[in-house]
Structures are given as structure tokens and as C-alpha cells.
Amino acid sequence: MNNWYLVRHGETQWNAERRVQGHTDVPLHDVGREQAALTGRRLADIRFGAVYSSDLIRARETAEIIVAASNTGPYEIVFDERLREVSFGKLEGKTWTEMDDEIRAVQNERNLDFAPPGGESYRRMLDRLGEFAEMVRERHAHDDVLVVGHGAAFRALAVRMLGLPDETFWSLSGLRSASVSRVRRRDDGRTALFAWSDAGHLDVPPAERGAGILSHAHLTQ
């Protein structure tokens, strides 16, 4: 039996401005770095068999901050392009309200095969996340694994890990920045979602953040 801990990257300035990021390399801002540090404390005592991250800088920085806080490391982070967010092509940098009405209408139809100009379809993203999931299953059948990445990419990864129809992608809610989700895989191959967008560690009052009270017990059951 093993657990996959999926951590969405900390917040960036473009997140705060509700801009489409996709493959654009936007670093964490101060809030995002603090979020990553809190997540690192949350996961500090979990022993991982491997640590993977998207190669985009907002995920890289988040992974590096989390690993630096670990009490069970050191860990080498494996950066994998397959964990990148979906590419929005020429739409990247726009706010969600600035996107063309036609593009928003197509997205509202939940068409997995639609790709914006210069971008990528959600179906293609599902396929590359499925490839990543299969690779990790083969290499780490009995290891707990930390994966740092992106919101839509993790929805795709969860769909493929759980063996659900691709259309289930639209039913999964978005993930909070620096939240922790957990998928458990049993020795018989059955897989279950145990936590989704758990961000309780981010709500700890600032005065208590250094007091060592950040519990991760329910994540390690």
C-alpha cells in the first residue's frame, strides 16, 4: 500500500490577479512562499520514496521549500515536464474575464478536445498525466510519493490514477494554492481518493505558525 501526496504550487502574482498561467513561468510571490513553507511543515515527518515536481518555476520553488523543511530527507527532486499545467497558448497572461467570449463559450461546453490557439487540449493533458501515473506506479509500488504541480494537471492525474472516465475531470473541484490531496493505492491495485484540496494548515494563525502544532496525522493514516 502506498500514498501519493499531491501538492499544488503556492500562490503567484498572476494567481492573485486571476491571470491564465498555463506554461508561462511565473514565480511564487511572498504569500506563495509562506504557503509553501507551511505545507513543508505539514509534511515534514512523512518519509517519501520519491519526490516529483513540474519543471515550471512556481512548482519548482514550492517543491524546494517543502523538501528543505523535511525531517526525513534529504530528497532529490525529479522535475518532469509531464506534470506541467495545461497550456493555454496565446491566452496566457490574460485574465479570465479578458478571454474572448467564443473561447469561454467553448470551455463552458466542457469540450475535452478543444485547444486554444497555440495551446493544448485537456485530452492531451490527461494523456500525459496518465503516462506519468503509470510510470510512478511501476517504479514506486510500495513507496509514498510526493508530487508538486498544478490545479488542472492534478485533476487530470486523479482521473487517470482512479481509473475514472475522462469526463470526470470536469466534476473535480479546483485546488487551493499549496493544498494537499492524497490518493491511496492498495496492494491489490484498488485506488481511492482520501483527501482533496486540504488546506487546513494554511489557516493556522500567524502567531502559532512556529509552535510546531501543524498536525498531519490524518494524512498518514
Give the catalytic positions in this structure: 9, 85
β-pairing, 191-198 vs 180-185, is antiparallel
Of 172, 151, 148, residue with least CA distance to 6 = 148
Compute φ and ψ for 212, nearest 5 degrees: 75, 25
Backbone angles phi, psi at 38, to 5 degrees: -65, -40
Preceding peptide of 165 cis, ω within 30°: no
**CA pair distance 38, 209, nearest whole angstrom:** 8
Q: How many CB atoms neighbour CB 102 within 10 A?
A: 8
- Residues of the chain by 3-state class (helix, strand, coil), percent to 5: 40, 15, 40
CA nearest to 150, candidates 57, 44, 37, 34: 57
Quick count: other Cβ atoms within 10 Å of Cβ 211?
A: 9
Cα–Cα distance for residue pair 165/152, rounded to 1 Å? 16
As a whole number of angstroms, the distance between CA 57 and CA 162 comes to 28
